[in-house]
Structure 1
Amino acid sequence: MNYGILYGVGVGPGAPDLITLRALNTIRNAQVLALPRSSDYGESMAWKILKPTLGEIPGQERLFLTFPMNKDPERLRPAWDVAFAAIGERLERGLSVAFATEGDPSLFSTFIYLRREAPRRWPGIRIEVVPGVSSIVAVPSVTGIPLADGQERIAILPASYGVEDLSQVLEMFDTIILMKMGAEIPKVVDALERQGLVDRAVYVSKATMAEERIVRDIRTIQAERGDCFAMIVVSRKVRSGLLAGAVPVTPRVATQETRA
């Protein structure tokens, strides 16, 4: 069977003018634009980002697909099956489908599951990925704090899946990016306090969007629940720059006990 082409297209972190030319061209030329959303009545963030720039594309179908914000596979699989079946029905008719996702399609994206599943459902299908500006690189642009320099190493953690090993990660890496904060903010602040790093952290929600929020004293948000676009970035800056010299691979971080 000659399937249509499946595209995974990153539309960037939120600001409409951060969508790449390749992303816009791919979406404009696709016969079907698939737009994920978290509920049947919720807004598609990818569409919210795209809408001001894309405009109307004559003859293009706009396909809204529901992917619940849930960690239970038994609840997710049925919803994914419905969404994938809708995409497959178009692909089997030879229509090209552009699946738009905020940020980048290869980083904590629903498209990753679709890309993994597609060859099994539609053998021989052609898949193309159009990278997008990720929130990971959008955050330093709004905070003014570089992610890495010199010998620095970066760790990326999905905080909502647990931060039990955060203290160990803080000792091993120079920049720690905690995404999808959820209810983990108090635990993160506590771990940073114990490591003496709370003043090296910044909270950013919806970077580059109109609702962007930056908090540089994260002690003030301990009682809050972070949205799915909320991040805390910790920048130790021990090995920063070429002039940092020979710094141990895992420098011992001063804790309250060692400072006493």
Structure 2
Amino acid sequence: MNYGTLYGVGVGPGAPDLITLRALTVLKQAQVLALPRSSDYGESMAWKILKPTLGEIPGQERMFLTFPMNKDPERLRPAWDVAFTAIGERLEKGLSVAFATEGDPSLFSTFIYLRREAPLRWPGIRIEVVPGVSSIMAVPSVTGIPLADGQERIAILPASYGVEDLSQVLELFDTVVLMKMGTEIPKVVEALEQQGLTDRAVYVSKATMAEQRIVRDIRTIQTERGDCFAMMIVSRKERSGLLAGVVPATPRPASRETGA
């Protein structure tokens, strides 16, 4: 069977003008837009980001698909099956389907599961991934805190899946990015206080969006519940402009001595 092409398209972290040119080209040409949302009545954040820039494309179908924000496989699998079946009906007709996802399709994205499942359901299907600007890149841009310099190491953690090992991670890495803060904010603040790193952390919600919020004193938010776009960046080091790690000394030029 000749299936349509399946695209996974990253639409960026929130600001409409951070959508890439390649993403816009694919999204304009696709015959079907698959737009994920967390509930049947919820808004698709990918569509919210995309709509101001993409506008209306004559003849293009917009298909809103529900992927519950839940960790229970017994709830997730039926929802995924409904969504994947709807996508398959279009692909089997030879239609191209662009699955739009916030940030990048390969990082904490529902498209990852679709990409794994697609060759099993539709053997020989062509899949193309269009990378997007990730929130991991957006947060440093709005906070002014670089991710890494020289030989520094970075850790990226989904906080909502537990932060029991956070203290150890903070000791092993120069920069730690915590995503999907959820109800873990109190535990995160406690771990940072134990490490003496509260002043090295910045909290950001909805980076680059109109509702963007930046908190530099994280002690003021330790009783809050973060949304799924809430992140924290912890940077242990003051950067001097030199490469981190062992840097060989620059040899001094030999001085010329003159006799008396």
TM-score norm. by structure 2 comes to 0.93
> Conserved in 1, the CA contact under 8 Å of 2:204 and 2:214?
yes
TM-aligned CA distance change 1:164 to 1:240, over 3 Å = farther
% of aligned pairs identical?
A: 90
- Cα RMSD for the two superposed structures: 1.2
The alpha carbon displacement at 1:13 in A equals: 0.2
The alpha carbon displacement at 1:151 in A equals: 1.6
The alpha carbon displacement at 1:242 in A equals: 2.6
> Conserved in 1, the CA contact under 8 Å of 2:34 and 2:64?
yes
Matched, 1:9 2:9: yes
> Conserved in 1, the CA contact under 8 Å of 2:150 and 2:245?
no
The alpha carbon displacement at 1:150 in A equals: 1.5
Aligned-partner residue type, residue 19 of structure 1:
I
Distance 1:52 1:201 in 2: 33
Distance 1:244 1:78 in 2: 48
Which structure has the larger Rg? 2
Q: Deviations over 1:69-99 (max 9, x none)?
A: 0010100000000000000000000000000
Q: How does 1:1-260 map to 2 (within 5 A)?
A: 1-237=1-237, 241-246=241-246
Distance 1:241 1:172 in 2: 22
The gaps in structure 1 that reach 5 residues or longer are 248-260
Distance 2:177 2:240 in 1: 16
> Conserved in 2, the CA contact under 8 Å of 1:150 and 1:240?
no
TM-aligned CA distance change 1:194 to 1:82, over 3 Å = same
Structure 1 segments (4+ residues) deviating >6 Å: none
Q: Which residue of 2 aligns with 1:254?
A: none
For residue 125 of structure 1, give the secondary structure of its aligned residue in structure 2.
coil
Aligned-partner residue type, residue 210 of structure 2:
A
Aligned-partner residue type, residue 223 of structure 1:
T
Distance 2:47 2:33 in 1: 10
Q: Which residue of 1 aligns with 2:255?
A: none
> Conserved in 1, the CA contact under 8 Å of 2:32 and 2:98?
yes
Distance 2:243 2:67 in 1: 47
> Conserved in 1, the CA contact under 8 Å of 2:34 and 2:63?
yes
> Conserved in 2, the CA contact under 8 Å of 1:8 and 1:100?
yes
Distance 1:182 1:132 in 2: 24
> Conserved in 1, the CA contact under 8 Å of 2:151 and 2:245?
no
Q: Deviations over 1:56-77 (max 9, x none)?
A: 1011000000000001010000
- Number of residue pairs the alignment of both structures matches: 247
The alpha carbon displacement at 1:237 in A equals: 1.5
Distance 1:243 1:158 in 2: 28
Aligned-partner residue type, residue 32 of structure 2:
V
TM-aligned CA distance change 1:194 to 1:122, over 3 Å = same
The gaps in structure 2 that reach 5 residues or longer are 248-260
For residue 242 of structure 1, give the secondary structure of its aligned residue in structure 2.
coil
Distance 1:3 1:67 in 2: 24
For residue 142 of structure 2, give the secondary structure of its aligned residue in structure 1.
helix
For residue 176 of structure 1, give the secondary structure of its aligned residue in structure 2.
strand
Distance 2:179 2:93 in 1: 38
Distance 1:240 1:149 in 2: 10
Distance 1:238 1:10 in 2: 33
TM-aligned CA distance change 1:130 to 1:100, over 3 Å = same
Distance 1:32 1:106 in 2: 20
The alpha carbon displacement at 1:245 in A equals: 4.9
Aligned-partner residue type, residue 176 of structure 2:
I
Q: Which residue of 1 aligns with 2:254?
A: none
